[in-house]
Structure 1
Amino acid sequence: MFSIGDKIVYPMHGAGIIIAIEEKEILGEKAKYYIMKMPIGDMRVMVPVKNVEEIGIREIAGDDEIEQVFDVLKGRQTKMPQNWNRRYRLNMDKIKSGNIYEIASVVRNLMIRDNEKGLSTGERKMLNNAKQMLVSEIVLSKGIDQEETEKLIDDAINCPAV
């Protein structure tokens, strides 16, 4: 169980800080919720405490993991399906996993692809979402601001900013 002040990652949403644990009644059912404040966009998210493992909530990455994330970002583009649909599904599965290394690989591959060939609207949206998830976790882990984090990611991949 997490506590107020813990920094956690909510797959598909990004990293945030638990600012409260509240009991709420939703659709006639009372349950405890973590109230998360996200560092980007000043958004708040409610996460049902009982579903934490099922959802894949985890603690944010530490310094060693963040270093490995930058190693992933600096790596070569991995082979992806040529078919847009298959590529999109594969990348979406990686993002849904909540695994920071998988998300970093999606960001790297899509940024490189965008630089070389351009992206469809759907893939551009996917890239922006994946990048925001990565940025939110790095911001909380390293204590640096969003702009600096985005520059570090862009520099690691060595592509112009998206």
Structure 2
Amino acid sequence: MLQVGDKVVYPMHGAGVIAGIENCEVLGEGKSYYVLQMPLGNMKVMIPTDNVDNIGLRDVISSSQVEEVRNVLEDKPERAMGSWNKRFHENLDRMKSGDICDVAAVARNLILQDQRRKISSGERRLLDLAKQILVSELVYACHKTPEEVENWLEDILAQNRYKH
């Protein structure tokens, strides 16, 4: 059972802190919700407490797992294959997994692909979302500000641009 103050990741939304538990009536039915406070954009998300397992809510990675994320960001990008639409859906599926290493790989691939030839507007939105998800979780895992995490990510990806 999750508690107020727990740091969790909501796939496709990012990481946040459980700020409270509220009971709301929806369509005449009383339900209990976790109120998730997100660090970016000061957004609040309400998640039904009885649906946590189905949506893939998980704990934020430990500080020791940050090195795995760094390794993914430093790895050689995967070669873009197929139409932008096919790539978009494959990347979207990877991000829906909720695995931060998959999200990091999507961000890396799209950033480096954008350096070679511009990505589509749909892929640009996906890249922005991937970066937002990465930053939100790494803020908690690294105990840093969003700006510090963004700079760290940019530095790693800039170095990767020149390696590959």
TM-score (norm 2): 0.94
Partners of 2:157 and 2:136 in 1: how far apart? 18
Task: Say whether the 8 Å CA contact 1:4–1:20 is kept in structure 2.
Answer: yes
Matches within 5 A, 1:66-105: 66-105=66-105
Pairwise CA RMSD: 1.2
- Aligned to 2:9, the other structure's residue is in SS state strand
Find out whether 1:54 has 2:54 as its counterpart: yes
Return the offset for 1:79. Answer: 2.6
Aligned length in residues:
160
Given residue 73 of structure 2, which amino acid in structure 1 is its aligned partner?
L
CA distance, structure 2, for counterparts of residue 27 and residue 80 of structure 1: 45
Q: In structure 1, how many angstroms separate the alpha carbons of the residues matched to 2:116 and 2:71?
A: 21
TM-score, normalisation: structure 1: 0.95
Aligned to 2:133: 133
1:109 is aligned to 109
Counterpart for residue 45 of structure 1:
45
Read off the aligned partner of 2:46 and give its amino acid letter: M
Counterpart CA distance in 2 for 1:108 and 1:53 is 28
Query: Separation in 1 of the partners of 2:97 and 2:30?
Result: 28
Say if 2:14 is the partner of 1:14.
Answer: yes
Is the Cα–Cα contact under 8 Å of residues 36 and 44 in structure 1 kept in the other structure? Answer: yes
Aligned partners of 1:133 and 1:16: how far apart in 2?
10
Cross-structure match for 2:3: 3
Structure 2 residues without counterparts, runs of 5 or longer? none
Q: Distance in 1 between matches of 2:75 and 2:95?
A: 18
Per the TM alignment, residue 30 of structure 1 is displaced from its structure 2 partner at its CA by 1.1
* Residue identity in the other structure for 2:115: N
Partner of 1:64: 64
Q: What's the counterpart of residue 120 of structure 2?
A: 120
Deviations 1:119-157 (A, max 9, x none): 111111100011100000001121111111111111111
Give the percent of matched residue pairs that are identical in Structure 1 and Structure 2.
43
The runs of 5 or more residues in structure 1 that have no matched partner are none
Residue identity matched to 2:125: K
Aligned counterparts of 2:15 and 2:84: Cα–Cα separation in 1: 28
Q: CA shift at 1:56, angstroms?
A: 0.1
